[in-house]
């Protein structure tokens, strides 16, 4: 049915619009590290055109290139790094200075192949099973929309954002800074929906979301399913989102319904949400019991280790220099982003000499709330030479971004400012 497919796909705005996100530890982490400005789709016509041009080198490059997968083909590939069909990173130079990340350059992260796109053709028909409440039942998205709506801006970030800076060659996509973005979600507050169901049943300590991905045949569901538990307090700020950046939530980002927990790492923001339960204990799915745990290098994951829940304080510089180009001497606007999970950022400092001296930057643009990132800028006059641009943020509770990364097996939670620096040449 061609028409429903066209209706489902996000309308491309003039700037762009698209993309995906973060979920799971790595069922098929095929890291291709393909950086392309353009991708040949491999059609006979494209091949013929290359051959007609007599360009064997171009043909060889095309063979190495990887096109966007069908569920994310509407994304703006020039601004992405394609790690695999399930992992796509926003290029650092593609981040703008207007706070919100356009959907079509937002990163994508899936541990399982997404469901069929047909589930988004009639998003209001999608049903969620609500368990662990006093009046458990199934409820459709259409019914939810009649109960209430809320909008929240928040940072979406993969737990492994910054993994590419680690030296011990950990498995998983080698993200630098682009497994992140700041977006606006709309949906129903979980607390409001739970109230409609008579409240949370007694004795519950966790909120557990289950994704609607299809489990591969012959595989134990617990080994690959996307099911995450977070502390019960998260229900006070969580929403069930059906919209992103003013448009229906596309499949690439978890549509038709996604659990969004502001301030928490992306894996907890379960896509294609099919069940939301309130439980006495954490789920026994591998993604919870052994996955997404902070552990020493070489150690196996286990439930006693810290889980990737709330994000830490973090910042980095995006411009200038992230595109590898030099700039001319004179006034330069050094700008970037800063956030701190569930806490608001209160201060950002910038150094142009690798942390020897610091100057306080100023925030620019709207403050979209404690869960969104803040854009910052430091105007500085630079003479010819080489500069190491770094930033460090401080949140409302006094937590300051550290200089070094916390070494851990999977390369999670990296917020050390040293690794995130940019080398800038001023001509």
DSSP string, 201-261: PTT--EEEEEE-PPPPTTS-HHHH--EEEEEGGGGGT-EEEEEETTEEPPGGGTTT-EEE-
Yes or no: say if 426 and 326 are a contact pair by the CB < 8 Å rule: yes
Who wins on pLDDT, 100 or 7?
Answer: 100
Token reading at 4: 């429903």
Asked whether the predicted pLDDT for residue 418 surpasses 80, the reply is yes
Supply the pTM of this predicted model.
Answer: 0.86
In the block, tokens 């063979």 appear at: 63
**pLDDT over threshold 90, residue 29:** no
Q: Of 310, 334, 352, which marks where a domain is finished?
A: 310
Token digits of residue 119:
């589930």
Banded model confidence at residue 280, pLDDT cuts 50, 70, 90: very high
Average pLDDT of the segment spanning 147-162: 98
Q: What number is the average pLDDT over the span 201-226?
A: 96
Residue 334 and residue 295 share a domain: no
> What is the distance between the alpha carbons of residues 229 and 308, in angstroms, rounded to a whole number?
11
pLDDT for 237: 98
Are residues 103 and 243 part of one domain? yes
Find the mean pLDDT for residues 284-300: 97
Q: How many residues does the chain have?
A: 427
- Residue range 324-353: mean pLDDT, rounded: 98
Give residue 169's pLDDT: 82
Q: In the prediction, which pLDDT does 65 show? A: 57
Q: In the predicted model, is pLDDT for residue 14 greater than 50? A: no
Q: Assign 39 a pLDDT band (cuts: 50, 70, 90).
A: very low
Domain boundary among 260, 286, 310: 310
Q: Give the tens place of pLDDT for each residue, 43-54.
A: 333 333 333 434
Same domain? 133 vs 248: yes
Q: What is the pLDDT of residue 8?
A: 41
Q: What is the CATH number of the domain that holds 187?
A: 3.90.420.10
Percent pLDDT > 70 in the chain is 85
> Whole domain around residue 392: which residue ranges?
314-426
């Amino acid at each position: 049915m061609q028409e429903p497919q066209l209706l489902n796909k996000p309308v491309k705005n003039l700037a762009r619009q698209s993309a995906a996100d973060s979920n799971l530890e790595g069922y098929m982490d095929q890291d291709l590290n393909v950086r392309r400005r353009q991708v040949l789709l491999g059609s006979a016509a494209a091949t013929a055109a290359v051959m007609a041009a007599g360009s064997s080198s171009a043909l060889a490059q095309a063979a190495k290139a990887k096109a966007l997968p069908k569920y994310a083909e509407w994304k703006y590939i020039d601004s992405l790094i394609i790690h695999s069909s399930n992992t796509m990173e926003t290029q650092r130079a593609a981040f703008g200075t207007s706070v919100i990340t356009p959907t079509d350059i937002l990163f994508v992260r899936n541990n399982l192949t997404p469901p069929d796109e047909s589930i988004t053709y009639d998003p209001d028909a999608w049903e969620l099973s609500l368990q662990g409440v006093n009046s458990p039942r199934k409820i459709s998205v259409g019914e939810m929309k009649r109960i209430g709506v809320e909008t929240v801006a928040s940072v979406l970030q993969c737990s492994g954002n910054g993994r590419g800076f680690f030296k011990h060659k950990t498995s998983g996509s080698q993200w630098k800074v682009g497994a992140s973005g700041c977006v606006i979600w709309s949906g129903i507050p979980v607390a409001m929906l739970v109230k409609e169901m008579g409240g949370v049943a007694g004795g519950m300590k966790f909120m557990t979301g289950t994704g609607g991905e299809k489990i591969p045949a012959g595989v134990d569901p617990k080994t690959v399913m996307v099911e995450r538990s977070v502390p019960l307090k998260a229900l006070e700020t969580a929403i069930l989102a059906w919209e992103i950046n003013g448009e229906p939530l596309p499949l690439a980002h978890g549509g038709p319904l996604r659990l969004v927990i502001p301030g928490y790492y992306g894996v907890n923001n379960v896509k294609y949400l099919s069940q939301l339960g309130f439980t006495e204990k954490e789920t026994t799915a591998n993604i919870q019991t052994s996955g997404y745990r902070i552990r020493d290098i070489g150690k196996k994951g286990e439930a006693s280790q810290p889980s990737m829940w709330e994000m830490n304080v973090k910042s980095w510089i995006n411009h200038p220099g992230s595109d590898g180009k030099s700039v001319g001497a004179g006034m330069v606007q050094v700008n970037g982003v800063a956030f701190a999970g569930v806490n608001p950022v209160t201060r950002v400092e910038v150094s142009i000499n690798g942390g020897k001296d610091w100057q306080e930057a100023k925030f620019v643009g709207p403050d979209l709330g404690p869960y969104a990132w803040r854009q910052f800028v430091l105007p500085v006059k630079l003479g010819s030479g080489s500069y190491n641009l770094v930033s460090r943020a401080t949140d409302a509770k006094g937590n300051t971004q550290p200089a070094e990364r916390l070494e851990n097996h999977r390369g999670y939670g990296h917020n050390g400012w040293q690794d995130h620096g940019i080398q800038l040449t001023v001509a």
